[in-house]
Structure formats: C-alpha cells, structure tokens
C-alpha cells in the first residue's frame, strides 16, 4: 500500500472512530452507566422511588451481591498462585524451555506488573460492564536517579565515572585533604608540594529500563469496529484517552509535534465516566482542571490500530496532529466477557442478568416496607370539633387526648396484614429466579443455615450445578483473554528481550533466554474449581495416594507418580511452593552422576577374543620357559657325566667344577 499523507491518515482515523462501537452517549455507554447505577444501588431511573413523602426508597442490591460474590471465586482461579495458562512443547527437546516460558510469563505478569490488581480490575469490568480489557506492550523508559559521594580522590572519582557509564556530574566541590597528605607532584614554579584535593560530587545517573507492561483499559476509553467479533479480527481498534503533554513527551514523542497540539477539540467522556466520577466524589469537570503550565495540559489522544493490506499499523493522533505512524506485529488488546454472544464482540454481563430481579425485588421490598410502616403507624381519623388536635398530634407514652365523645377518634385500617406475607413469598420467588439466571445460588455463597439440614447428596448436586456456571465463565475467560494475554507476553519477550536475565523460578535461580524460545510452544488451559472445591481436590488426591500404595507392590506405580500426586495434594492445600515439602525424584536423578552407557556387544566380542589370544600367548611362553629349564637340567647332567668319565680315564689329571660353566650355550628347543 502506498504511503498515506498526514491528511489521509487523519481522515482515515476520524472515519473509523466515527463508525466504531463505544462512542460517548451511545446505547452501549448508557447500558454500562445503568449497570453501574444498579451496582451502587442508586435510586435513579428505573429504581427511582415515588414522589410521595414517607414512602420507602430502599433499593435491593442484586447486582452488587452477584458481582461481589462471584468475583472472589474467579480470583481464586486466576490469581491463586498456580499457572492458569501453560505452554506445552511440540517436541521432547523443548520440555524445559516450555516450563521456563510458563514460569517466566507468570513471573512477568504477577511480579514485574501489579498482576493481582490487573486481574481484579479486568474480571470486575467484565462482570459489570460486559467486557474487561487489558493492553499489553513493551515499554522502554529512562529512569534518572541522583547519587552523592563525599571525600573522593582523583583516582576514586575517575574509577566511579568509569563504572557509572552515562553518569553526569551536576554538582561538585573540591577542597584540600586534611592532614599531612601531599600530592606527589610539586609546584614547578614555587617548589612547594601541593596538598591532595578531595571531591564531593553529585551524579545524575540515567538508566534505560525496558519491560512488558500490562495495564487495564477503562471500557469507556475503548473503541472497536462494528464488524469485529474479537480483538484480533477487528479491522479497527483504538484506545482514546486524555493524556498530558508532558507524559507524551516522556513517552518519546517529538516535543515540537506535542507542542503543536491545540485545545480546540472539545470531547467528553460522557455519561459513563460522569457516573464513575460521582462514585469517586468528583464533580463534573474535575478531570479537566486548568493546568498551571503547558506540559500539564490534558489533550485527547487516539491510539489506533488498523489492518491495512493484512498488516497491522499503529497510528497515534492527538487533535489534528499525527504523532506516529508505524507498522506493528499485532494489536495489544485482550478482552474477556462472562456471557459471550455468537458473532458479536459485546456479550452480556452478570449485571445484565441481575438487573431485572433487582428492579422487581426493589418494588416488592418497598411495598412490603410501606405496608409495615402503615401497620405500625396507622392513620387516624378525628371528628372535627370533637377532639383536641394538639393532644392527638403529641404522641407520647401515657399521653392524654381530650375528646368530647368516644367515637371522636379512630384508626383507619388501610393496610392489609396479608400483603406483607405475600410480598415475602414474592421476594423468595424472585430470589429463585435470580439464581436461575445468574447461576450463583445462596448455597454456593455459604450463607444458608438451612443447608446444614439438607442431605449431603442434595447439597452436592446444588453446589455442583452452581459450580458448572462458575467453571464455564472461568473457562471462557481462560480460553479467550488469558490465552491471548500470555501469548502476547511471550511474543514481546522473544521480540524485544535480547539479554539474558536471572529469575527465581520454582525455588531455583535460572538463566532465562527468551530468544531461544522462538514462539515454538502450544498452549493448554488449566482452570481450577470454584470456591470450596479445594477441599474436594485434596480429598481426591488423598484417595489417589491410598490407591497408589496398593498398586506400588504390583509395579504399577513409580516414585515419580507418587510425587506428582503428593505435589497436587500440597497445591490443593493452598501452598504454592511444593519444594518446601517434597523432593522431586526426577530432579534428584539429574543431580546424580550419569550412569555409563551399556557396552557394545561387538566391543565385548573383540575384548573376549583379545583376552583369549593373550591367555594363549602366556601359556605358550610358560611352556617355552619350562622346556628351557628342563633342557638346562639335562645339559647339567650330561656335563657331570662327561666330567666323571674323564676323571676315570685320566686319574689325577683332570680337576674342575662339578657344575657346567654359566655361559655355556643352551641349544634352542625346537618349537
């Protein structure tokens, strides 16, 4: 696609923003404002009381109760410490890398970012405002800090500046060193040694920091194309918010462009933000207070992502100024919805399911209370001229009312005693209907004393049915938003983190090289059970370990299987680090010296042949040695015999040794 001019980019962005979903004061924003009013229990709109003095203005709290009771259960699943999303390797060589990627991505979300707060806000927005939104991006910033040092010599100062690369001296003071210390050099003109100087300095150290950032996006600041069914398939998606000029400059935008942003654009957050401001106690316009200097001026910034020719482009526009236009790998948003609707981006929230029961229960509660008030404080009739009205209006214990006849004062029975009972029955019916709609029962809340008298089987059925809705919502959140979130975190680490980092994962310090991962993992989802079911998991693991004891003698269970079951049992008890209690057999085997490989049969055969040849050679050598010794004995005997014959033949003429000479040659024994 050819490069677009500034005017073309501006027109393109303006057209997409005008046609997107999420504009201020639209039906969507009005619906979210209504949900917030119901959540806060405001007696406005459908919940406004009748304009009659003395009538009940109570508001039921179905929306608040449903959201706040379900929120802790979902937080246990996603922020309870266990990995919700796991990366699975595609081959056996990548098992360790997949484990590192899983642990490090969880570390990035929960440790390097305010993970719990992000997850809490994300889920609560979804339960209350139809969708919850997060934005994931790589942030590079420069952090400046000041360091002060006193009494440094020239050598120490030089070494300090060499260690602090990029440090700048902003304050310094030089003074002679106290005492007899003298500099080695002497003044050539005066011939007098100069005292050594010491320095007090203040350094400004600039450190570049970069990391993955995960932030929440308020629903009223989000825009998306009408054709979208998810964030990834949206042809247009944007984040529209107010930002100060100083923050834009700090982010890295050209200061000259930022200064050109005008103030003529008069946008508003609309009714939704106004409703939230009233909750916070802010008056209309408090967010747009006059700035004391230009950098503090708030301007509207539209961070837009468009798919042009199959590629994502990021266009940031403030007023009539296009701050940047660049190609990006993907859009940064992730969304979750508790009750998604097919082929639509915006589904239903739990507030949508609980608003009708809240409206009906509010009306019934008011009727019941009004009837009760009339029963306690009934209206009175008085015959004109027959009663002292001052006495009648002064209601006090033991008071006297002066009348001219007994029939001058009486009660008006305009309240029906049966109305209260009927209202209570209707309230119970509406409560049952609300439980059927939201799937969240009083039994799953753990607040019903009557449940103690019910059978265990019946209670398990009711609890399990309630948990099914909870598990479905958790599964939807995991398969949509959390999967996309972890995938984006992984890709950002691979794309931008070019240096190895050291992090403590699973109780061990590990060198992490994200670029070695290369986005080569699949993903699997682990969604835990709802509230109260950790005990069930622990019971199941205990039963499994008892079964393993019986199967161990049959060879069907290995130590690694026992460890896995025990580790799951420890996790079900709420402990995150199983290494404190158990020793992993596989890790122990890795620490032991490796066993030598089995010998090659051909090598064994060659060694056997070599040993056989050596034994045969030794036998032949021993045989040869024995034959030589026998031959020597034979020669010695022959020598003595010859000597004896000579002595007998020549008596007295021969004298010699009875032993043969030592150097007498021994003839070779024939082989």
* Nearest-angstrom CA–CA distance, 471 and 531: 10
Q: Which of 274, 303, 336 is the last residue of a domain?
A: 336
* Nearest-angstrom CA–CA distance, 640 and 589: 76
pLDDT in the model for residue 345 = 94
Instruction: Locate the DSSP E strands across 602-659.
Output: none
* Top-confidence range, 366-375, 435-444, 464-473: 366-375
Residues 167-220: pLDDT tens digits?
888 888 888 887 655 545 444 455 555 678 888 888 888 777 889 999 999 999
**Does residue 60 lie within any of the structural domains?**
no
266 lies in the same domain as 414: no
pLDDT in the model for residue 336 = 96
pLDDT in the model for residue 507 = 64
* Nearest-angstrom CA–CA distance, 390 and 413: 23
160 lies in the same domain as 265: yes
- Give 283's strand partners: none
pLDDT above 60 for 95: yes
Mean pLDDT score of the chain: 79
* Nearest-angstrom CA–CA distance, 194 and 189: 12
Calculate what percentage of the chain has a pLDDT beyond 90: 21
Residues 302-317: pLDDT tens digits?
999 999 888 899 999 9
DSSP H or E run through 335? strand 333-336
User: From the CA atom positions of the chain, what is the Rg in Å?
Assistant: 45
pLDDT above 50 for 458: no
pLDDT in the model for residue 439 = 62
**Does residue 283 lie within any of the structural domains?**
yes
489 pLDDT tier (thresholds 50, 70, 90): very high
What tokens does 671 get? Answer: 């082989």
pLDDT above 50 for 531: no
* Sole residue written with tokens 């057999």: 585
pLDDT in the model for residue 141 = 78
* Nearest-angstrom CA–CA distance, 652 and 483: 122
pLDDT in the model for residue 198 = 86
**Does residue 572 lie within any of the structural domains?**
yes
Contacts of 426 (CB under 8 A, 6+ apart): 364
144 φ, ψ (degrees, to nearest 5): -110, 135
179 lies in the same domain as 213: yes
290 lies in the same domain as 191: yes
* Sole residue written with tokens 């440094």: 152
* Nearest-angstrom CA–CA distance, 438 and 468: 12
94 vs 662 pLDDT, higher one: 94
197 lies in the same domain as 300: yes
pLDDT in the model for residue 440 = 62
253 lies in the same domain as 384: no
pLDDT above 70 for 82: no
> What is residue 380's three-state secondary structure?
strand
414 vs 633 pLDDT, higher one: 633
243 vs 639 pLDDT, higher one: 243
48 φ, ψ (degrees, to nearest 5): -65, 135
What tokens does 115 get? Answer: 């993970």
Q: Are 319 and 264 in contact (CB under 8 A)?
A: yes
176 φ, ψ (degrees, to nearest 5): -65, 145
Determine the average pLDDT of the residues in 246-260: 86
DSSP for 468-511, written as a single string = HHHHHHHHHHIIIIIHHHHHHHHHHHHHH--S-EEEEETTEEEE
290 lies in the same domain as 426: no
Query: Strands 311-318 and 321-328: what pairing?
Result: antiparallel
Determine the average pLDDT of the residues in 285-295: 58
Q: Are 517 and 96 in contact (CB under 8 A)?
A: no
**Does residue 489 lie within any of the structural domains?**
no
* Nearest-angstrom CA–CA distance, 315 and 332: 13
Residues 126-167: pLDDT tens digits?
999 999 999 999 998 777 788 888 888 888 888 888 877 778
454 pLDDT tier (thresholds 50, 70, 90): very low
What tokens does 534 get? Answer: 């950790």
* Nearest-angstrom CA–CA distance, 240 and 390: 65
Q: Are 106 and 83 in contact (CB under 8 A)?
A: yes
236 pLDDT tier (thresholds 50, 70, 90): very high
213 lies in the same domain as 331: yes
Number of structural domains (the chain) is: 4
Determine the average pLDDT of the residues in 597-601: 72
**Does residue 166 lie within any of the structural domains?**
yes
**Does residue 12 lie within any of the structural domains?**
no
DSSP H or E run through 175? strand 168-176
pLDDT in the model for residue 305 = 95
* Top-confidence range, 22-36, 222-236, 241-255, 583-597: 222-236
Residues 46-80: pLDDT tens digits?
889 888 877 888 898 889 988 998 898 888 888 87
Please enumerate, as own/partner, the contacts of 400-403 that have beta carbons within 8 Å and a separation of 24 or more: none
Calculate what percentage of the chain has a pLDDT beyond 70: 76
451 pLDDT tier (thresholds 50, 70, 90): very low
Determine the average pLDDT of the residues in 93-117: 86
189 lies in the same domain as 259: yes
pLDDT in the model for residue 332 = 95
Between helix 27-40 and helix 350-376 the angle, nearest 10°, is 40
Q: Which of 620, 637, 38, 58 has the alpha carbon at shortest distance from 372?
A: 58
pLDDT above 50 for 663: yes
| Parent domain of 589 | 545-594
Q: Which of 55, 29, 73, 35 has the alpha carbon at shortest distance from 439?
A: 73
Q: What is the DSSP letter of 153?
A: -
DSSP for 406-441, written as a single string = GGGEEEE--S-HHHHHHHHHHHHHHHHHHHHHH---
Q: What is the DSSP letter of 191?
A: -
449 pLDDT tier (thresholds 50, 70, 90): very low
pLDDT above 80 for 265: no
230 lies in the same domain as 362: no
Q: Which of 440, 470, 492 is the last residue of a domain?
A: 440
**Does residue 100 lie within any of the structural domains?**
no
> What is residue 307's three-state secondary structure?
strand
pLDDT in the model for residue 416 = 62
Residues 547-577: pLDDT tens digits?
988 888 888 888 888 888 998 888 778 776 7
Q: Which of 401, 317, 325, 332 has the alpha carbon at shortest distance from 14?
A: 317
pTM over 0.85: no
401 φ, ψ (degrees, to nearest 5): -115, 120
657 pLDDT tier (thresholds 50, 70, 90): low
pLDDT in the model for residue 665 = 54
**Does residue 456 lie within any of the structural domains?**
no
Q: Are 340 and 352 in contact (CB under 8 A)?
A: no
Q: Which of 390, 423, 440 is the last residue of a domain?
A: 440
* Nearest-angstrom CA–CA distance, 219 and 129: 7
What tokens does 90 get? Answer: 């595609």
pLDDT above 70 for 374: yes
330 lies in the same domain as 368: no
Please enumerate, as own/partner, the contacts of 378-384 that have beta carbons within 8 Å and a separation of 24 or more: 378/411, 378/412, 378/413, 378/414, 378/415, 379/411, 379/412, 379/414, 380/409, 380/410, 380/411, 380/412, 381/409, 381/410, 381/411, 381/412, 382/408, 382/409, 383/407, 383/408, 383/409
CA distances from 356 to 55, 125, 152, 246, 431 (A): 22, 20, 74, 46, 11
- Give 142's strand partners: 208
241 lies in the same domain as 144: yes
Query: Strands 501-505 and 508-512: what pairing?
Result: antiparallel
434 pLDDT tier (thresholds 50, 70, 90): low
């Amino acid at each position: 696609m050819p490069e677009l001019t500034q005017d073309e980019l501006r027109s393109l962005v303006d057209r997409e923003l005008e046609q997107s979903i999420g504009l201020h004061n639209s039906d969507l924003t009005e619906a979210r404002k209504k949900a917030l009013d119901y959540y806060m229990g405001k007696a406005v709109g459908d919940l406004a009381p009748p304009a009659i003095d003395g009538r009940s203005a109570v508001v039921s709290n179905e929306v608040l109760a449903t959201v706040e009771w379900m929120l802790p259960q979902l937080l246990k699943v996603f922020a309870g410490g266990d990995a919700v999303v796991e990366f699975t390797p595609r081959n056996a060589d990548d098992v360790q890398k997949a484990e590192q990627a899983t642990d490090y991505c969880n570390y990035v979300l929960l440790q390097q970012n305010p993970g719990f707060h992000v997850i809490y806000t994300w889920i609560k927005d979804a339960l209350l405002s139809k969708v919850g939104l997060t934005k994931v991006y790589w942030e590079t910033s420069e952090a400046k800090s000041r360091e002060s040092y006193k009494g440094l010599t020239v050598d120490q100062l030089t070494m300090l500046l060499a260690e602090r690369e990029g440090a700048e001296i902003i304050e310094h003071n030089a003074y002679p060193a106290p005492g007899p210390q003298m500099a080695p050099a002497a003044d050539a003109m005066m011939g007098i040694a100069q005292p050594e100087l010491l320095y007090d300095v203040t350094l400004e150290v600039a450190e570049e920091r970069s990391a993955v950032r995960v932030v929440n996006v308020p629903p009223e600041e989000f825009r998306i194309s009408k054709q979208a069914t998810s964030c990834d398939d949206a042809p247009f998606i944007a984040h529209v918010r107010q930002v100060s000029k100083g923050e834009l400059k700090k982010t890295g935008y050209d200061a000259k462009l930022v200064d050109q942003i005008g103030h003529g654009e008069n946008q508003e957050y609309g009714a939704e933000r106004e409703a939230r401001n009233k909750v916070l106690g802010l008056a209309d316009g408090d967010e747009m207070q006059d700035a004391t200097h230009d950098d503090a001026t708030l301007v509207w910034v539209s961070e837009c992502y468009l798919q042009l020719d199959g590629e994502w482009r990021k266009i940031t526009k403030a007023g009539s100024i296009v701050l940047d236009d660049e190609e990006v790998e993907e859009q940064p948003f992730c969304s979750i919805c508790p009750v998604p609707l097919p082929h639509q981006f915006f589904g239903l929230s739990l507030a949508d399911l609980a608003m009708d029961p809240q409206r009906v229960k509010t009306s019934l509660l008011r009727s019941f209370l009004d009837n009760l008030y009339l029963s306690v404080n009934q209206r009175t009739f008085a015959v004109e001229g027959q009663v002292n009205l001052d006495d009648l209006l002064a209601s006090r214990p033991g008071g006297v009312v002066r009348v001219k006849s007994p029939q001058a004062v009486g009660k008006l029975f305009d309240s029906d005693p049966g109305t209260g009972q009927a209202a209570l029955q209707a309230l119970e019916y509406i409560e049952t209907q609300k439980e059927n709609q939201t799937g969240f029962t009083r039994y799953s809340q753990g607040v019903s004393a009557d449940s103690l008298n019910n059978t265990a089987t019946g209670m398990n059925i009711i609890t399990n049915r309630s948990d099914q809705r909870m598990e479905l919502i958790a599964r939807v959140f995991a398969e949509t938003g959390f999967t996309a979130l972890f995938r984006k975190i992984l890709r950002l680490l691979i794309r931008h983190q070019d240096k190895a980092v050291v992090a403590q994962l699973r109780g061990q310090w590990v060198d992490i090289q994200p670029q070695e991962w290369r986005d080569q993992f699949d993903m699997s989802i682990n969604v835990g059970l709802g509230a109260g079911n950790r005990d069930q998991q622990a019971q199941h693991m205990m039963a499994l370990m008892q079964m393993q004891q019986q199967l161990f003698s049959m060879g069907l269970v290995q130590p690694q299987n026992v460890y896995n079951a025990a580790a799951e049992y420890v996790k079900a008890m709420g402990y995150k680090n199983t290494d404190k209690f158990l020793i992993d057999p596989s890790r122990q085997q890795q620490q032991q010296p490796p066993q030598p490989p089995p010998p090659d049969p051909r090598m064994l055969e060659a060694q056997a042949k070599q040993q056989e040849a050596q034994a045969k050679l030794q036998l032949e050598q021993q045989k040869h040695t024995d034959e030589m010794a026998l031959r020597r004995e034979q020669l010695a005997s022959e020598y003595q015999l010859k000597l004896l014959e000579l002595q007998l033949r020549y008596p007295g003429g021969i004298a010699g040794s009875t032993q043969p000479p030592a150097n007498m040659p021994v003839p070779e024994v024939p082989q």
